[in-house]
Structure 1
């Protein structure tokens, strides 16, 4: 396989259009189509499905896309590593963050520390759900991601960071510093969709206690969730760091769920299919040092040994 063809193929899939990809790559569309045809001939597989709306990868195309992203990224890392020999580390490091995690509290310290210690490194921060972040790690679009991990993911190497207790957050009729799950079952709940780590943990706890949650809305956006809780229409369940943030924004209260006690493990994930670039490894070490600082323990987070 030709390195240039792989680069063309990845760009076509990213953009979803041969015409637009040709413009971005500064190559005539017929020539680009021929490059794809040659690649398909080499692999004896159809890689793209062409429609009036653009192009989408076939199943074989999806497999090649994942490997091609990894290959291209490794080549880029090799080039940077060679250029950085004897020089100050530079280049981009991309980090995924699940919204509302404890990692959000170290975003500014991370940027400040990297700026001070690695001035030629550009940090790219991307917020999204855990499932999306893992997909981007596998496709080579992210170097690392901090998220709540409930189970092992194929192709992902996960390093435990800490655990966060789950709290109930609301603005009316505070139940006190702690609350029983049976009492939560009587309240109107706003929760994320059932694929999120928080929702899976909450559903699991209700199921084990043979209780039924009164879910009146499913909300992904922290801003929208804050508005919903501030309105007094219902309550929500969040990890402590996110609970504190929402509680302050909505001028509400938070109560630890104690019967049963519930927590979520926060992990640092990287792709198991390749190694980190020198600059990404350096940023990872800074991130780990920040997570382990006593400042985070002040929020009663349980560090994972």
Structure 2
């Protein structure tokens, strides 16, 4: 068995089909099938269940998939460490930055600082919706992520770096708040149409829990996974949203919006750097980690974003 077979197996599981995997790898399907048969013979285990719809990993296959990810990642680390022996930190580093978060505003600063200090590092930044960054870190597909902290989770460790308060963001015409109001309660927004992230986001869970605490059913009119679309919908008066201050600041008519801290209950979300608990950071990834941590501290100290504070 060699690392090529492991990489082939990962591709088979990722694609869910020998045919699609063979096309992606640009090799003949019979040859790829022989590599799979060789792996099953080596481990004396059935690794996938074949059907006319494709392949599905068995429990043994899932175990091999996880370890293969780690092994291949370690091979990348080895290459990076050999380069580091020449005192040049180089290699690829992938970083996730939570959408809708103040941390997503750090992407350009992170890119500039990494290029300034470590020009040989190739940085991959992901701040897209639809990706569960903790799972990507756990599986070794992403080196680290700056995300909302969900609490204890197997396979990853969290280093808390900031706490972010949520605000009601709206046009005044949709609010029941009086002129000059400095905060608003959850009960008073019961009938306001809301535009929120979908339920895969921790922010949405925090908002839903707050409504449950006051026994209020929110008037959710849409779930939106796009900052641009959300901003336009808010601008058109189609609804309000509950997000950090930084999210509102990226909307085109920010100066025309009302932002009110929420009370009864107040909502705060912890932001943490997420890393794998089984795959050590490579030297380039550790360098990027340190830069990211420094940038978060500088952002908090600058008081640029209301509602963002250091963890206690």
* TM-score for the superposition, normalised by structure 2: 0.90
Q: Equivalents in 1 of 2:58, 2:5: separation in Å?
A: 17
Partner of 1:201: 206
1:50: Cα distance to partner?
Answer: 3.3
SS of 1:65 mapped into structure 2: helix
Partner of 2:119: 119
Question: Within the alignment, does 1:276 sit opposite 2:285 as a pair?
Answer: no
Partner of 2:88: 88
What pairs up with 1:288-303 in 2 under 5 angstroms? Answer: 288-293=293-298, 294=300, 296-300=302-306, 301-303=308-310
What pairs up with 1:107-256 in 2 under 5 angstroms? Answer: 107-128=107-128, 132-173=132-173, 175=177, 176-246=181-251, 248=253, 251-256=256-261
Q: CA RMSD in A?
A: 2.2
Q: Does structure 2 conserve the Cα–Cα contact (< 8 Å) formed by 1:239 and 1:264?
A: no
Question: Within the alignment, does 1:285 sit opposite 2:290 as a pair?
Answer: yes
Q: Does structure 1 conserve the Cα–Cα contact (< 8 Å) formed by 2:248 and 2:254?
A: no
Q: Equivalents in 1 of 2:53, 2:227: separation in Å?
A: 33
Closer, same or farther: CA 47–127 of 1 in aligned 2, 3 Å: farther
Partner of 1:47: 47
1:120: Cα distance to partner?
Answer: 0.7
Question: Within the alignment, does 1:265 sit opposite 2:274 as a pair?
Answer: no
Q: Equivalents in 1 of 2:129, 2:59: separation in Å?
A: 24
Measured against aligned partners, the alpha-carbon deviations of 1:26-62 in whole angstroms (never above 9, x if no partner) come to 5432121111012122333332333445434334323
Q: What are structure 1's unaligned runs of at least 5 residues?
A: none
Q: Does structure 2 conserve the Cα–Cα contact (< 8 Å) formed by 1:170 and 1:234?
A: yes
Q: Equivalents in 2 of 1:284, 1:7: separation in Å?
A: 27
Q: Equivalents in 2 of 1:16, 1:122: separation in Å?
A: 29
1:98: Cα distance to partner?
Answer: 1.5
1:247: Cα distance to partner?
Answer: 7.0
How many pairs are equivalent?
A: 305
Q: Does structure 1 conserve the Cα–Cα contact (< 8 Å) formed by 2:83 and 2:90?
A: no
Closer, same or farther: CA 150–247 of 1 in aligned 2, 3 Å: farther
1:23: Cα distance to partner?
Answer: 4.3
What pairs up with 1:3-82 in 2 under 5 angstroms? Answer: 3-82=3-82
Question: Within the alignment, does 1:97 sit opposite 2:97 as a pair?
Answer: yes
Q: What are structure 2's unaligned runs of at least 5 residues?
A: none
Measured against aligned partners, the alpha-carbon deviations of 1:179-234 in whole angstroms (never above 9, x if no partner) come to 11111122111122223211111111111112221112222222222222222121
Q: Equivalents in 1 of 2:115, 2:20: separation in Å?
A: 36
* TM-score for the superposition, normalised by structure 1: 0.92
Q: Equivalents in 2 of 1:260, 1:247: separation in Å?
A: 29
